Amino acid sequence: MRVFISFEGSCEPFDIPSDQTVGGMKQMVKDHFLVKLSDDKQVRQYLELSYGGAALQDNWALCDVGITCGSAIRCLIKSEQRPVIRVFNAVTGETFPIMGSEALLHMSVAGLKTVVSMQSGLPVSTFRLSTPTGVQLYDCNQLQDYAVEVGTTLRLDTWDGWVKFLQGCLLGHKLTVQSHLSQKKPVMRFQLQVALYIAASLGHLDLADWLLERGAHAEEPVGVHPYRQWCHQTAHRDTGKCPIHIAAESNQLLILKLFITKKILILACQDAAGRDPLKVALQCGHRDCVRYLANKLYSVVSLPNMSLPMRIYLQIKRWASLGQKKASSNRCQYTCAAFKARIGDTLLVDGFSEPNMSSKSRKPVTKPSRGIKNKALHPLPPISNSHLASERVPPQPSSLQSVSSGDFKDMQKKQKEDYLYRDALVKAAEYSTNPHQEARPYHGLILDDGS
């Protein structure tokens, strides 16, 4: 079967069998036209055969795709840019590329974490990066300090026991998020802010509304894990980013409307770089978000006796809020601690503590089995006249105690007195029920007075 191959302005005939694969034909084209393809670390060149405007796969046979004798096939040389770094996400189980030039290898780890956070949707305080050999990458260092080369696959790990929680956040499953919240209140509050950040980034409206009802705040930054609150001054810059900022950055208009409807004051919320949501939307070029935020900021607030521009109203509300916080801090200046960490809480020190971010599943908490507890002995029932004749109350053994040899005789004497006293009571009760019964003498009765 003869077909014609069009390559770089020339058209050459090729006699090939009808069951020839596309991959075999590509090799024939390379040998005939002496094509040399570059295959370096950043750019890969390859041949592409197309018929009828559709690209042909290497494992296809020509007869299976309707190519007959006399057909014309187009051949092109295409280039594919390879990613500089790949990152394996332990939360989703997927590997995503980090595109760019080799200059990316000279950036800091903090800058790389910002790029990874934008692609994965996870806040920077919820994951760590490590080399294929397991060496953790710290924010203050450069990538070249860890000998990271082009094509290296880094690993993204999250806090132990957080995989299911973050999966629920990424999918917007409210029940999954609720069932995997921590029992510790500081960690749970941090998780709520993380979940609201992810919901604002991906546009999960129902999850965001539920998180606001649970106490999460769109104008508060995600911050750092409670285990690392003591070193918040060296934390990543993006930890100061609030859910309202990531909503404006991700062009989530419905999320913005939800946040502003709940609290109008977040229009003036600023991130670590001093940008409000309108500036963030302007820099990202999201026209719909810019239009909505600008209309809100330049509107007029109607009060009972006056009307104020929204910017002045927000400034007054902000002054009042700052005054309330200052007044409350003055009242509690002797009781509030500088850090939220308490005695007994876990603190992590970079390079010294064993990392708690290895994406391990949370161990199920099993309560220790309780042994069978001995029930307290009930007190003896009162002596009844109806069954005294047939039953005798046996003497109760006293509790075991460590006694000396002299006290042991006194104990035996007291036990004998108790037994004789009980026996006398039983006989007296029998006589009271049958007064015609002959009285029997009882010898050896020892009275309390010692006679």
Distance CA 243, CA 218 (A): 5
State the average pLDDT over residues 389-413. Answer: 51
Q: Per residue in 26-71, pLDDT tens?
A: 888 888 888 888 766 667 788 899 988 888 888 888 888 888 888 8
Mean pLDDT of all residues in the chain?
79
Among 288, 322, 356, identify where a domain stops: 322
Q: Are residues 414 and 317 in the same domain?
A: no
Low-confidence winner among 93-107, 140-154, 158-172, 227-241 (lowest mean pLDDT): 227-241
On whether both 181 and 305 belong to a single domain, the answer is: yes
When divided into structural domains, the chain yields a total of: 3
- On whether both 62 and 195 belong to a single domain, the answer is no
Provide the β-strand partners of residue 51. Answer: 54
Same domain, 201 and 317: yes
Question: In the prediction, which pLDDT does 409 show?
Answer: 61
Q: Which of 114, 113, 151 is nearest to 132 (CA)?
A: 151
In a domain, 374, yes or no: no
Element (H, E) at 280: helix 277-284
> Do 411 and 317 belong to one domain?
no
Would you state the pLDDT for residue 90? 92
Structure tokens at 17: 């069998």
Specify the CATH number for the domain of residue 6.
3.10.20.90
Lowest mean pLDDT among 80-89, 242-251, 337-346, 379-388: 379-388
Is pTM beyond 0.85 here?
A: no
* CA dist., res. 85 & res. 148, Å (int): 9
- Within-domain flag for 441: yes
- Residue 275: which CATH number? 1.25.40.20
123-127, 286-290, 322-326, range with the lowest pLDDT: 322-326
Reported as a pLDDT band with limits 50, 70 and 90, residue 228 is confident
Residue 425 in this model has a pLDDT that exceeds 80 = no
Residues 300 and 415 in one domain: no
Answer whether residue 290 is part of any domain. Answer: yes
Query: How sure is the predictor about 349, in pLDDT bands with cuts at 50, 70 and 90?
Result: low
- Is the pLDDT at 318 greater than 70, yes or no? yes
Least confident of 203-207, 225-229, 357-361: 357-361
Q: Are residues 179 and 303 in the same domain?
A: yes
Q: For residue 343, how far is the Cα from the chain centroid?
A: 24
Does residue 123 lie in a domain region?
no
The reply to whether 69 and 181 lie within a common domain is no
Q: Are residues 427 and 310 in the same domain?
A: no
Residue 3 carries which side chain, given as an amino acid letter? Answer: V
Which of 112, 186, 189 lies closest to 144, judged by CA? 112
Does a structural domain hold residue 236? yes
Residue 44 lies in a domain: yes
Claim to verify: residue 301 and residue 411 sit in the same structural domain: no
Residue 199 and residue 72 share a domain: no
Q: Give the pLDDT score at 443.
A: 44
Cα angle for residues 204, 207, 211 (degrees, 5° grid): 135
Last residue of a domain, one of 47, 65, 81: 81
Position 93 in a domain: no
Comparing 338 with 301, the larger pLDDT belongs to 301
The token pair that represents 41 in the structure block? 């670390």
In the chain, the percentage of residues whose pLDDT exceeds 90 is 31
Asked whether residue 267 is assigned to any structural domain, the reply reads yes
C-alpha closest to that of 113 among 140, 95, 134, 80? 140
Please calculate the CA angle 62-64-67 and round it to the nearest 5 degrees. 45
Q: 25 is in which domain, residue-wise?
A: 2-81
* Residue 245 pLDDT: 94
Helix (H, G, I), strand (E, B) or coil at 411: helix
- Of 322, 355, 370, the domain-final residue: 322
Cα gap 278→266, rounded to integer Å: 11
